[in-house]
Structures are given as structure tokens and as C-alpha cells.
Chain A
Amino acid sequence: MNVTATPALPLGDDALILSHRLGEWAGRAPVLEEEVALANIALDLLGQARVLLSLAGDEDELAFLREERQFRNLQLVEQPNGDFAHTIARQLYFSTYQELLFEHLAAGESELAPLAAKAVKEVAYHRDHAHQWTLRLGDGTDESHARMQHALDALWRFTGELFEPVEGLEAAPWPTLHDTWTTRITSTLEQATLTVPEGPQRGGWAAGAGRQGLHTEPFGRLLAEMQHLHRSHPGATW
């Protein structure tokens, strides 16, 4: 398999894996309207993944024939859907990050600029969707508030990795992106009467190595489900 060394690979893996996770809600979302919203976000991300992975090699080979250790996505995006609050917390953390990074890339002249410029509008909507739900869950019932806070706390340790410089994008202003991210997350959570989690943004031994190919336990099962059809029927076409 030919894989070009490009930052499009880790960014494409983020989009692909989160797209797959969101797709798992199909048929299971709390209401039909929300199912369509989540599927819509998943399809936006899949579109981004196709463009990005094509910059790194053959998109199908990259998606379906790599082993776990060859994926470069953030550990955050591979985390299971959990309850609805977990899905929303994961999306809030990730979309806020992705919007900031794509805004930066869109202003540059790298091969990623055209994709970033197009995707940043999609991502702004994803972030708004997560923002709106965070407000409603946080400032809703005691039950929804507790669940939302719990989800934010549980996923917090995966957020430090977002701002580890991506190989090939070392020149990006990572500390500034991190500061802006924290400001935006804080603003949303305060509005939602939620507390910004305390504690380390990376675990001592596990969280924060997805970019190096180290993944959490649930990722293996995700890959098995995502890849089994392609691997069972090599070369099959519609």
C-alpha cells in the first residue's frame, strides 16, 4: 500500500472514524429528526475523509485495509457513542477544534487549503449543533445536567491530544489554537450552567497517542465492523 506522508492522513482519519461513530446512531437515535441531523454530520465528515485520504493514497485501501496501529486519528473521535450526552460532548470538543484548525489551514496555501475552506462551513454547523444541545442538556433537567457534566468530565482527558502538533503542520499556532479552544468551550459550558472539567487533559499512560497509532480498546471493535465487509469480499463492486 502506497501511503504519502501528509498531514491529510491524520486529519482524514479523524473525519473517517468520527463519521463511522456517528453513523452508529442510525436506527438508534432518540428521535427521527436527531437521527437525520447526526447522519448529516456523519456524511459531511465522510466527504472530508474521502478528499483527505485521497491526498495520502487510495481512499478505500486506507480505510479498509490498514491495521489499527496504522491509523493516525485522535483517540477522542474513536470513543464510543455512550449516551446522547457523550456523543454531544465528543462533538463539541472535536468540532470546536476542527473549526479552528480548518480556519487556520484555509488561510494558508498548503494542499489542504481548498478542502479546509469548504469544510469550515460544514464544521461551523456541527459545532453549533453540539453547542445548542450542550445548552439544552446542561440547562435542562437535573438528569440531563448530570449526564452532560459526566460526559464532559469523562472525555476531558482526550482533549490534550488535539493540540499536539500534527506531523507536517508543526508551523500551525498550536498554543494559540488551544487557548481559543479553551475560551470557546468555557463560554459554551458557562452558558449551559456546566463546569469546565478540571484535571489533566491527557491520561498518564493511555490518552493522547492516537497520532502515533496507539488506540483505545473500543477502536478495535469499530475497525472490525467498519472493515469486515470489504475484507470478506475483496474487490467486490456494486
Chain B
Amino acid sequence: MTTPRPAETPASATEATPQPTDWPLWEVFVRSRRGLSHTHAGSLHAPDAEMALRNARDLYTRRSEGVSIWVVPSAQVTASSPDEKDAFFEPAGDKPYRHPTFYEIPDGVHHL
């Protein structure tokens, strides 16, 4: 090697390239303002929960989008399977009487 190594680099600097993909995935939920519920905003990689919160702050709330953040390990999310879509969701399709649409909403009621 002809290039001198910078003085501040430890001897092992050229070995062991870090593997960023080792970091687990986290789902991010952001509450945009008081009174509303947390909404899924996206996902990110982070080494642990504390860093995930901070990354979420930088990625999803830097334009004042939020007042509260939750992070959840993606591995902890149990999702419905696309194969079960029909059994899960289709029976609800022809039952309009389950929708609360037969009421007049009083003036001044929001977020209903």
C-alpha cells in the first residue's frame, strides 16, 4: 500500500466492513396533533428502540408533522395474509347496515 494511512485511523480500519442490514426494521407511528390517534407513517432501520425514535424524529417529523411518535419492531407485527383476503373481508362487503351512515351528524362534530 503506497498511500499512507491517516494518523487517526485505527489499524483495523480496512477490515470488517459494517453490515447496515443487520439493523432491525421498525414501524413508525406519528400523532400529528393532540386528540388524533397515531397513524402509520412508514418504516426505518435502527439498532435499537431509542435510536429508532430519534431516526423517526429526523425522517418523519422534521417539518412539524407530529407531537408524538411510537416505534414498533416490524417483526412484532402480525399481518393478515393476502390468501385469506376473501374470508376476512368479503363478507362485510354487502352489509351496508353496519355502516353508521343513517344518522345526521350534528354541526360541530369533527373526526367522527
Please report A residues at the B interface, Cβ cutoff 8 Å. 30-34, 36-37, 40, 80, 82-83, 86, 128-129, 132, 136, 143, 146-147, 150-151, 154
Contacts and interface: CB of A to CB of B under 8 A. Distances in A.
A33 B59 contact: yes
Interface in B23-67: 23, 44-48, 50-51, 54-55, 58-59, 62
Given A33-B55, A150-B10, 14 more contacts: A31-B23, A33-B44, A33-B59, A36-B59, A80-B8, A82-B6, A132-B51, A136-B47, A136-B51, A143-B12, A143-B16, A146-B10, A151-B8, A154-B8
B9 interface: yes
- If over half of A's interface residues share one DSSP class (helix, strand or loop), that class is named, otherwise mixed; here it is helix
Contacts of B16: 143
B82 interface: no
Contacts of A129: 54
A150 B12 CA distance: 12
A147 B50 CA distance: 22
Contacts of B91: none
B13 interface: yes
Interface of B: 6-10, 12-13, 16, 18, 20, 23, 44-48, 50-51, 54-55, 58-59, 62
**Would you list the 6 A-B pairs with minimal beta carbon distance, nearest first?**
A31-B20, A33-B55, A154-B8, A37-B58, A40-B58, A82-B8
B10 A33 contact: no
**Residue with the highest number of chain B CB atoms closer than 10 Å, among A80, A132, A146:** A132
A143 B13 CA distance: 9
A222 to B, nearest CB: 15
B54 A132 contact: yes
A30 B50 CA distance: 18
A33 B8 contact: no
**Residue with the highest number of chain B CB atoms closer than 10 Å, among A31, A36, A86, A150:** A31
